[in-house]
């Protein structure tokens, strides 16, 4: 058998091997430094219509860590989710910390591709690339099966992996301009760390962008908080 290192860094396996190494370095650096390098990629993909969120103030991390119920995907036709939203939700890229699910997927894709190309000796020819592309589907299935049991575990944590915080009675800054039933975001500084939650106006009154708000109560489904403008 040829050197496993040569197989790992062969022409077929090289892209996923490099990606896997980058993710390993990411997690090592996160654990050692305690710094969470959040993705900060803005998206504007029709979230207004589908979730009530103001998309101009939502970044990729918010979408990746948002909580959706299964009925929002299949049972509630009024949502009319886009295909990519259904994809993210079904395979747990939404509802769990994004980097956790993404790392699980990349590692599964890399390992399946590495195993298949090693067994078939196709790690340096065009057939190997076909196997790599075909491994995408079983990697997704593995990711779904592997990450699903963690949903209950992460429910007790916020999107940064910290213990859930009681936001009721706290003052924060609105990151959205909302009124009536519109859902938006608000940022709170807790122990020196910025944290954001979804908010809705308590009485339907307008809350402007960057206005100071006070959290009054949590919604029954615990997916957002009711807030009102804070007056000294």
pLDDT interval class at 70 (50, 70, 90): very low
Does residue 33 carry a pLDDT above 80? no
Does residue 52 carry a pLDDT above 60? no
pLDDT score, position 65: 41
Does residue 49 carry a pLDDT above 70? no
pLDDT score, position 24: 95
pLDDT score, position 157: 59
Rounded Cα distance between 96 and 103, Å, is 12
Average pLDDT (107-117) is 96
Output 82 or 45, whichever has higher pLDDT: 82
Residue of 110, 89, 78, 146 lying closest to 7 (CA atoms): 110
pLDDT score, position 222: 79
User: What are the sequence ranges of the domains in the chain?
Assistant: 4-37+97-152, 47-90, 171-229
pLDDT score, position 80: 60
pLDDT score, position 41: 35
Average pLDDT (200-214) is 93
Which class is 171-229 in CATH? Answer: mainly beta
User: Would you say 192 and 163 are in contact if contact means Cβ atoms under 8 Å apart?
Assistant: no
Rounded Cα distance between 84 and 179, Å, is 28
DSSP the chain: ---HHHHHTSTTTHHHHHHHHHHHHHHHHHHHH--------B--SSHHHHHSB-GGG-BHHHHHH----HIIIII-GGG---HHHHHHHHTTSSSS-HHHHHHHHHHHHHHHHHHHHHHHT-TTSHHHHHHHHHTHHHHHHHHHHHHGGGHHHHTTB-TTSSBP---TT-EEEESS-B-TT-EEEEEEEETTEEEEEEEEESSS--B-TT-EEEEEEE-TTSS-EEEEE---
Output 222 or 26, whichever has higher pLDDT: 26
pLDDT interval class at 42 (50, 70, 90): very low
Work out the number of other CB atoms within 10 angstroms of the CB of residue 189.
12
């Amino acid at each position: 058998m040829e050197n496993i290192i040569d197989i790992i860094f062969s022409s077929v396996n090289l892209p996923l091997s490099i990606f896997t190494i980058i993710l390993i370095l990411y997690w090592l650096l996160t654990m050692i430094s305690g710094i969470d390098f959040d993705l900060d990629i803005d998206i504007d993909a029709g979230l207004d219509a589908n979730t009530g969120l103001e998309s101009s103030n939502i970044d990729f991390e918010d979408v990746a860590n948002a909580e959706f119920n299964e009925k929002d995907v299949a049972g509630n036709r009024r949502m009319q989710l886009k295909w990519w939203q259904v994809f993210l939700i079904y395979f747990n890229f939404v509802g769990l910390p994004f980097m956790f699910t993404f790392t699980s997927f990349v590692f599964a894709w890399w390992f399946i591709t590495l195993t298949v190309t090693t067994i078939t000796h196709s790690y340096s020819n065009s057939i190997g690339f076909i196997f790599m592309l075909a491994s995408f589907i079983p990697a997704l299935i593995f990711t779904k099966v592997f990450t699903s049991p963690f949903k209950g575990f992460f429910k007790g944590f916020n999107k940064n992996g910290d213990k859930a915080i009681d936001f009721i009675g706290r003052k924060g800054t609105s990151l959205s301009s909302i009124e009536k039933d519109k859902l938006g975001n608000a940022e709170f500084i807790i122990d020196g760390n910025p944290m954001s939650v979804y908010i809705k106006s308590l009485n339907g009154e307008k809350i402007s962008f960057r206005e100071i708000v006070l959290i009054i109560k949590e919604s029954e489904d615990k997916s957002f908080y009711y807030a009102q403008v804070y007056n000294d």
